[in-house]
């Protein structure tokens, strides 16, 4: 009779711990109590940034026409990801920055509201758009971006982030909206 054997192997290292180690945490920025997850250190590492983009590309579910990036840090990941996916890049900017005719969407901040915009003619109705940002916290920005893209007629079914702050509930809120949400690393706390 073969009894259960206890594994002497170490628990598997999460596949993206190498990337997590490249993201620096700066306490109390931009204000006391915030743990700022700084992806500039990941960007500085050539192998790490390349691995990040490869893993994001591998997680893309189905063909897409455009990668939409959210200003400003989201642009970096969206632009790099678009090349291997053979997709174009659609810019979602803070209001007032785009030169052509725009459509906009408001979203709530801790205090007050903000507005993001995109060129009204940036995507054809029915275009399959993957939304990308560096980080999701409360999800206010990403949810507004999804509403904006859908207002333009885009089909948005997946949203990707490098970093998730799960305690803030943004990824769960997007999932409740019916979106597929993928992120490479998660940090506990704000
Ligand atoms: O999930 P949320 O609570 O909406 O927060 C996440 C957003 O906050 C950060 O952008 P920020 O507005 O700081 O802009 P930046 O990229 O220009 O620094 C981040 O890049 C996301 O876009
Ligand atoms: N904790 C955090 N670190 C970096 N960017 C953020 N955007 C919102 N919360 C953030």
If one looks up domain 62-186 in CATH, what number appears? 3.40.50.2020
* Spatial separation of the C-alpha atoms in residues 51 and 185, rounded to whole Å: 13
Give pLDDT tens digits for 60-85: 999 999 999 999 999 999 999 999 99
Contact 136, 179 (CB under 8 A): no
Shortest-distance Cα residue to atom 19 of ligand 1: 135
Our measurement of the distance from residue 180's CA atom to the centroid of its chain's CA atoms, rounded to an integer in Å, reads 12
According to the model, what pLDDT value does residue 189 have? 77
Q: Which ligand is nearest to the CA of 70?
A: 1
Counting ligand 1 atoms within 8 A of each CB, the residue from 74, 95, 133 with the most, and so the one to mutate, is 133
Name every protein residue with a CB atom under 6 angstroms from any ligand 1 atom. 70-74, 133-142, 170
> For the chain, what's the residue count?
190
Query: Which residues are catalytic, by number?
Result: 73, 110
pLDDT < 70 stretches in the chain: 1-13
Q: Which ligand is nearest to the CA of 146?
A: 1
Q: So where are the chain's domains?
A: 62-186
ipTM of the complex model: 0.97
Instruction: Locate 111 and state its tokens.
Output: 């205090």
């Amino acid at each position: 009779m073969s009894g259960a054997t206890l594994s002497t192997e170490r628990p598997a290292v999460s596949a993206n711990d190498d990337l997590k180690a490249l993201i620096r945490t700066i306490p109390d920025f931009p204000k006391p109590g915030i743990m700022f997850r700084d992806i500039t250190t990941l960007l500085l590492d050539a192998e790490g940034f390349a691995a990040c983009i490869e893993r994001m590309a591998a997680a893309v579910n189905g063909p897409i026409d455009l990668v939409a990036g959210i200003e400003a840090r989201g642009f970096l990941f969206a632009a790099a990801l678009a090349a291997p996916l053979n997709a174009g890049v659609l810019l979602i900017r803070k209001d007032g920055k785009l030169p052509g005719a725009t459509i906009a969407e408001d979203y709530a901040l801790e205090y007050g509201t903000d507005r993001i915009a995109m060129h009204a003619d940036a995507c054809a109705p029915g275009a399959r758009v993957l939304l990308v940002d560096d980080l999701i916290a409360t999800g206010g920005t990403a949810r507004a971006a999804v509403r904006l893209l859908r207002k333009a007629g885009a089909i948005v079914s997946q949203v990707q982030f490098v970093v998730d702050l799960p305690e803030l509930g943004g990824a769960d809120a997007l999932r409740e909206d019916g979106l597929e949400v993928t992120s490479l690393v998660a940090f506990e706390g704000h």
